[in-house]
Structure formats: C-alpha cells, structure tokens
Structure 1
Amino acid sequence: MIERLVAIMARLRDPVEGCDWDRVQTWSTIAPYTIEEAYEVADAIERNDPGDLKDELGDLLLQVVFHSRIAEEAGAFTLADVVTSIADKMERRHPHIFGDVEQSPGWEAIKAQERSAKSDSSALAGVALGLPALSRADKLQKRAGRVGFDWPDASGPLAKVHEEIEEVREAPSEKLAEEVGDLLFAVTNWARHLGVDAESALRAGNLKFEARFRAIEDLGGDAFAGMTLDQKEELWQVVKRRGG
C-alpha cells in the first residue's frame, strides 16, 4: 500500500507534470505542516476518536513520505533508508529482545551511548528545537539532571521560581521577555520535581479555561460582551462553584 503513496508523491513532485505547490516545497517549508499533523494525531488520541486518528496518522505518514521524496531527489536518502534506520535503531535499543543479552542496560544508557558516538556528545544533544517550549524545557532539565546538575528536591526549584518572579518585577522593558522566559523555565522545573508534566498540565489548564469561558458566555447571553469585568468575574465564580 505504501508504494501507492510513494508513487503519488513522486508524481506530485514531477518537475514538468507535477503539482505547482508540491514541487516547490522544501524540508523547511513543509516542516510546520509536519509539526501540525503530529499535534492533530495527539488531538485525535485525546478525543478518543479512532476514525479521526486513522486519518490523522495518514496525514502524518504523508509528511514522512514528502520529506523522504525531497531527500531522494537531492541524493541524500530514500524512504527505504528511513525505514531501515528506525528498524536498526529499535533492534539496537532492545538488545534483550533482538540480541544476545539477557537484560537490557536501559533505554537511557543505550541512547547515551548513541549520543557519545556523534560529533555533539553533550548530555543535551538531540533535544529537538521544534518541540513545544515547555516540553523542551522539561527534557533539557531531565538531561542535565542525569549528569548531576539538578536540585535534590522541589524546594530548590520553588525558591528559584520566587527569585525569577522578583526579577520579572524589576526587569526593564528590554529584558522583560528574557526574564519571563526564565520564570517559565523555573516553573517547568518546579513542576518536574513535583512529578507533574508541565506541557500536559498547561494543556489541561487551557481546556479548563476554555470550558469555563464558554460557560460564562452562555450565562451572559447577548449581554456578555457589554458586561463589566466584575460582572464577568461573578459569572466565573458561579461556574467554578458548579464544578465547571
């Protein structure tokens, strides 16, 4: 089946008879669509919608085929190389299943060994720039923690949050964004020490806010937009008391 999709992409990229949009795309121009499709897969999973998940996984697979086709045209690699690479990696990372060892040395130990073989051997190597900022902060902190650069408990990160709040309050306008970034990084670290995934927590917070805001819109009706902030806050408290 995948051969059909590969052939479709090759036709779309044909320099003479292909699609005007598809044939001018590059890795960089379609990267945002790749990220968007991954989020749509996650959204379908969160909504527990298997039918939509099937479609979104197809869209994500198309992105893999698209990137691979561009690479093949440039003589860099093919889709078959991509499949071989991930198959080799999965076997390498499960030596207790596919190899001759009885017990795996551990996923992180294997990944660390792989990183050491690359030109960038930093503990932070390979943490993708394209990750959501909160997720990337969490990964960077975990990587640093594995080599001993971490607080022993949540009190250190909490103190850092208070410190960063003060720095935001005192920051001149040209430094404000930088200090807010430091504060968000510190909050992510505190959440990690509390055993909370910051990205998931914020996603849940977004959903809660959206549900409550829609509820107060419904309560306010046509008059909602013209209400004062205090009146809207009263509606907000009503929704909170209802458990919304």
Structure 2
Amino acid sequence: MKKPLSAPDTNRPAKLQAFDRLLTVMDELRENCPWDKKQTLESLRHLTIEETYELSDAILENDLTEIKKELGDIMLHLVFYARIASEQKAFDVADVLNSICEKLIERHPHVYGDVVANDEEAVKTNWEKIKLRTGNKSVLQGVPGGLPPLVKAIRIQDKARGVGFDWERKEQVWEKVEEEMQEFKNEFNATSNEAIDKEKAMAEFGDLLFSLVNYARFINIDPEEALERTNKKFIKRFQYLETESAKDGKKMGEMTLAEMDEYWNRAKSL
C-alpha cells in the first residue's frame, strides 16, 4: 500500500501558482501573438525535438542553469500542445495530467497495491507484464518507430529483458560481440582490395553495433551518452588543433598529417 510522504511539500502552493501562470501566459500568447496563433501540432513537432536535444546536451554538461532553462522550454511546448488540442475539443491539460497519473498508479502496484517489488528489475518486469495485460500486443510495441537507431536499440533490448529474454552473464554478451566482429571481418576484409557486398557488410556491421549496445547495457554504460561524450571530446580537441595551428601561422588543409598530429597529441594532454 502507498506510504505517506516523509515530509509535506511546503512549497506546493508556489508550484501550483507558477503552473497556473504558465497556462495563463500560454492562453494570452495563443490569442494575441501572430506567431503563436499560427502554430499547429505538426509545426511544433520539430521544435520540440530540438528542445529535447538541447536539454540532453545541458544534462551532459551538468549545466544546471541551462537545464532549468531547457525544462522551461519543453514545459511550454507541452502546454502548447494541450492548448491546441483543447481548441479541437480533443483534450486539455487536465486530461493529460490525469491520464499520466492514472497510468502511473496502475503500473506501480507495488506502491499503490499489494504487489511486492524489492528491486529495479522487479519493477521493470511488472511494468512490461501490465502493459501486455492492458492492450499491448507486443512487448516491443512501445518502442517509437521514430527514435534514432542507437536509442531504439537500447529501448528494444531493455523491453526484451523486461520479460526475461536476455543473456545471463556479460561474458556471454562479449562472446557475441567477438562473434559479430569476426562475421563483419569476413564480409569486409580490411587488407583486401576486392569489392565488398555492401548490403551484407552493412547487415553484419548493424549486428556488431547491436551487440556492442547490448554489452554496454550489461556493464551499465549508456551507449548513446558514451558516443556523445566522445563526439564532444573530438570537437574540443579538433577545435584546439584549429586554434593553435592558426596561432602558428598554419592553415587547415595545408598541413601534413604529422603536423596536425602534434597539435592533436597536445590537445589530448589537456
């Protein structure tokens, strides 16, 4: 059964007042601003995706000021969608909030009912089973088709694990990585100049990436975050190369690889 909160939220009135203020501002913009009047669910979509990536970047940088700003932008988008839907007599923000509350209560029977779940894995397993009972025909039905492929691989594997379809030990997963690496090497021999079957090589490379994502999951590494951190590291070092070589009167595109490596190695030591 649900336990009482450990301490009352003394700031709840201020939070409710702030949310009410946002709803009021949204209504005023929708009725009085030419740009806001024109927006549709479809026109906001790409902007919301952009804001989500900006939030993700702020989180990776651990920039709390930017996180607060980006959360505000995303919350604006959420109430904007609800406002547009209310104009179409489809639903309003109260329907949205009540809907998610009902779903959370239903899928947390270990908090709001008598089910026992003592660890994270038990919670995930219960979650997937409940979704199957309440209409989902497939465990993978909840994976959005529009997710970036790397993120989609993570979600697919998480959901399969939730119903017990998973390796037992990380050593087994690493053996699969090595197997896929060998299969890829068989399709694409780096020492051969012969033309490769691009479709087969692409399929094997996809299998290799999928297995690496799986291994990362087993050792609690978020592969999407890991890759983004490497992207940022490369950008930082490459920009150092550009800046420092320019100070020495050198131009990108005219230096030898050995010259560029000197700056690159210097950047790695920073």
- Matched to 1:209, the amino acid is F
* Aligned counterpart, 2:4: none
Between the aligned partners of 1:161 and 1:111, the Cα distance in structure 2 is 34
Which whole-Å CA distance do the structure 2 matches of 1:191 and 1:60 have between them? 29
Match of 2:3 in 1: none
Give, in whole Å, the separation in 2 of the partners of 1:151 and 1:49: 37
Matched, 1:210 2:260: no
Count of residue pairs the alignment pairs up: 237
- Paired with 1:41 and 1:20, the residues of 2 have a C-alpha distance of 27
* Structure 1 residue 190 displacement after superposition: 3.7
Supply the AA of the counterpart residue of 1:128: P
Distance 1:166-1:75 versus aligned 2 partners, 3 A rule: farther
Which of 176, 184, 192 is matched with 1:156 structurally?
176
Shift of residue 12 of structure 1?
A: 3.3
1:9 aligns with 2:9: no
Q: Are 2:53 and 1:39 equivalent residues in the alignment?
A: yes
2:148 aligned with 1:132, yes or no? yes
Match of 1:109 among 114, 121, 125: 125
Post-superposition Cα deviations, 1:81-115, rounded to whole Å, max 9, x if no partner, equal: 11112222333343343x34273373223321332
Partner of 1:200: 225
Scaled by the length of structure 1, the TM-score of the pair is: 0.81
Matched residue of 1:56: which SS?
helix
> Would the alpha carbon gap of residues 218 and 134 (structure 1) be closer, same or farther in structure 2, given more than 3 Å must change?
same
Q: SS of 1:184's equivalent?
A: helix
Task: List runs of 5+ in structure 1 lacking aligned partners.
Answer: none
Sequence identity percentage: 38
Backbone CA RMSD of aligned residues: 2.8
1:122 and 2:145 equivalent? no
Deviation string, structure 1 residues 159-186 (Cα, Å, up to 9, x no partner): 12332354466333x7776665444334
Distance 2:185 2:90 in 1: 48
TM-score, normalised with respect to structure 2:
0.74
Cα distance 1:85–1:164, how it changes in 2: closer, same or farther (>3 A)?
farther
Kindly provide the CA deviation profile for residues 128-184 of structure 1, in whole angstroms up to 9, marking residues without a partner as x. 234333122111123234445444522113312332354466333x77766654443
Q: 1:79 aligns with which of 93, 96, 102?
A: 93
Specify the alignment match of 1:20 in structure 2. 34
Distance verdict in 2 for CA 1:76–1:182, change over 3 Å: farther
Superposed displacement of residue 204, structure 1: 1.5
Deviation at residue 227 of structure 1 after TM alignment: 0.9
- What residue is the counterpart of 1:223 in the other structure? 250
**How big is the shift at 1:72?**
1.3
**Residues 214-233 of structure 1: CA distance to partner in whole angstroms, max 9, x if unpaired?**
22223312414121233212
How big is each residue's C-alpha offset from its partner over 1:3-31, in whole Å with a ceiling of 9 and x where there is no partner? 332233234334xxx43333333323212
Greater mean alpha carbon deviation, residues 179-188 or residues 230-239: 179-188
Equivalent residues of 1:168, 1:180 under 8 A apart: no
Q: State the SS of the aligned residue for 1:21.
A: helix
| Comparing 145-154 and 203-212, the one that deviates more | 145-154
Q: Which has the higher contact order (CA 8 A, sep 6+)?
A: 2
Question: Which residues of 2 match residues 182-193 of structure 1 at below 5 A?
Answer: 182-193=207-218
Give 1:59 shift.
Answer: 0.6
